Amino acid sequence: MGQFNEMYQGTEVRAPYARLQDWVATMPEELRSLKQAEAEALFRRIGITFAVYGEGGDPDRLIPFDMFPRVFSGTEWARLERGIKQRARALNAFLVDVYGRGEIIRAGRIPAHLVYRNEAYEKAVVGFVPPKGVYSHIVGVDIVRTGPDQFYVLEDNCRTPSGVSYMLESREIMMRMFPDLFRENRIEPVDTYSEKLRRTLASVAPAKCKGEPTVVILTPGHFNSAYYEHSLLADLMGVELVEGQDLFVEGEYVWMRTTEGPQRVDVIYRRIDDAFLDPLCFRPDSMLGIPGLMDVYRSGGVSICSAPGAGVADDKAVYTYVPDMVRFYLGEEPILQNVPTWQCGREEDLKHVLANLPDLVVKEVHGSGGYGMLVGPKASKDEIERFRAKLVEDPANYIAQPTLALSTVPTFVEEGVAPRHVDLRPYCLVGERIELVPGGLTRVALKEGSLVVNSSQGGGVKDTWVLAE
């Protein structure tokens, strides 16, 4: 199968990787293992670990870090950037529309049931337009590559995409370990992310807020697998990291308990799900949220990022329609393509999927993290048959996609350096302006031939470089 190697075209080295050729060729074996151990020690020291659900074992297991960077040329990135921003604009236009007049549904461009019967569609925010018309302030777009110019969007993450701390820490560690590389290559910085995020959040403060807005990050707590990221972002932005119990509603506003008395909060960057935000509006048993928050939000007393209800845009069944959203709202042709997707809820699609299971990837519509999916070419006959039964039972719960020949990037492995499959998650910021830091999270499937890059399934991370032109 013609897999695209991002560094080598036959024996030729592609331009963005030109300076890495010598670096890797001249790196002595001992130095390599030394550096790898150093990287691991650094990651462990800063405490960036990732609790993996359902796998048992060490909950503070490190995500493996691979020192071989993934590199984009300035030109490659410019096109990706336009495509990602276009997508983020369309997704937000869609969200404002489906909580307003629903023009895209009236126009027959997307089936009503996919939106209105969706669990992530929040009736409580119908008719509400958040400040600047933004529902999803951080859009994580998962992208895979199959050729020099072939990029596909695998999925969108409109709620609270995680992993940006890996982008920041991977860069930090690479710069510490290989300062020469950063002198030899003109690499665009990513450490501007936290300032851009702070600006984005401040730009969507409610109209009632006068003066400099108070921004906080709301975390479910230290037991959450992404807690490290929550605290890192709070530190970098210079804002408070709070839990539900640190905030309370009084009168028309949300307040934060501080040693100097209550302080009004204008923008909440929440890292908890809609269902837990407010027991008076959503799950009554939630202990993580702030009672009364939604009443304040709906009356314009506080902004919530991402806005409650944003999840309806990143549903896997809705994903199929994102290219239509781009055309419908922006009147443009999509720059980034979707992976061809079969909706198993449709009879003819289901037929095709059942007939081609060994060649397809089948995912649960609401699943995430690589759980509950079937990778046809890697699955045993038994696994395929078990999955077939699940599919027939509840077809609407699944979508299927072809197994793509994901691009590879050289990766340090036991035997030296070998190609491994990668994907990319850049983080697009949407507020008054729309911004993208040149870089993102590159995840790498460390097992030979594996296409599953999820950290919960044995994936690792790489530093992602964008070269200045």
Partner 1 sequence: MRLTVDHLTSYRYDVPVRSVVQSHRLTPSAFAGQKVIDWEVTVTGGVRGASHRDGAGDVVQGWTIAGPVEEVAVQVRGTVETEDLAGVLRGHRESVAPDCYLRETAPTRIDVALAALAASASGSDCLALAHALSLAVSDAIAYRPGVTHAHTTAAEALALGEGVCQDHAHALIALARARGVPARYVSGYLFATEDGTPHEAAHAWAELHIPGLGWVGFDPANRCCPDDRYIRLGSGFDAQDAAPIRGVARGAAVEEMDVRVAVLQSAQ
Binding site for partner 1 (CB under 8 A): 99-102, 105, 112-113, 116-117, 119, 121, 123-128, 248-252, 279-281, 284, 291-292, 294-296, 298-301
CB atoms inside a 10 Å sphere around CB 173: 22
Confirm if 61 and 112 have CB atoms less than 8 A apart.
no
Instruction: Report d(CA 250, CA 267) in Å as an integer.
Output: 16
CB of 207 to partner 1, least distance (A): 12
Instruction: Report d(CA 34, CA 177) in Å as an integer.
Output: 10
Our CB check for partner 1 shows the closer of 296 and 441 to be 296
Contacts of residue 261, defined as CB under 8 A and 6 or more positions apart, other chains included, come to none
CB of 287 to partner 1, least distance (A): 10
Confirm if 173 and 31 have CB atoms less than 8 A apart.
no
Our CB check for partner 1 shows the closer of 71 and 281 to be 281
Confirm if 298 and 244 have CB atoms less than 8 A apart.
no
Q: Phi and psi of 320, rounded to 5°?
A: -55, -30
Instruction: Report d(CA 446, CA 424) in Å as an integer.
Output: 15
Our CB check for partner 1 shows the closer of 116 and 178 to be 116
CB of 116 to partner 1, least distance (A): 4
Our CB check for partner 1 shows the closer of 121 and 151 to be 121
CB of 139 to partner 1, least distance (A): 24
CB of 249 to partner 1, least distance (A): 6
Structure tokens at 156: 């969108």
Instruction: Report d(CA 416, CA 67) in Å as an integer.
Output: 12
**Angle formed by the axes of helices 193-203 and 227-237, nearest 10°:** 80
CB of 265 to partner 1, least distance (A): 15
Contacts of residue 257, defined as CB under 8 A and 6 or more positions apart, other chains included, come to 246, 247, 248
CB of 278 to partner 1, least distance (A): 8
In the three-class reduction of DSSP (H, G, I as helix; E, B as strand; rest coil), residue 460 is classed as strand
Instruction: Report d(CA 267, CA 261) in Å as an integer.
Output: 18
CB of 292 to partner 1, least distance (A): 4
Our CB check for partner 1 shows the closer of 163 and 279 to be 279
Q: Phi and psi of 67, rounded to 5°?
A: -80, -15
CB of 393 to partner 1, least distance (A): 17
Strands 138-145 and 151-157: antiparallel
Beta bridge mates, 303: 267
Our CB check for partner 1 shows the closer of 55 and 250 to be 250
Place of tokens 């479910």: 220
Helices (H) and strands (E) in the chain, counts: 14, 23
Confirm if 296 and 249 have CB atoms less than 8 A apart.
yes
Our CB check for partner 1 shows the closer of 106 and 186 to be 106
Our CB check for partner 1 shows the closer of 282 and 398 to be 282
CB of 125 to partner 1, least distance (A): 7
Strands 267-270 and 303-305: parallel
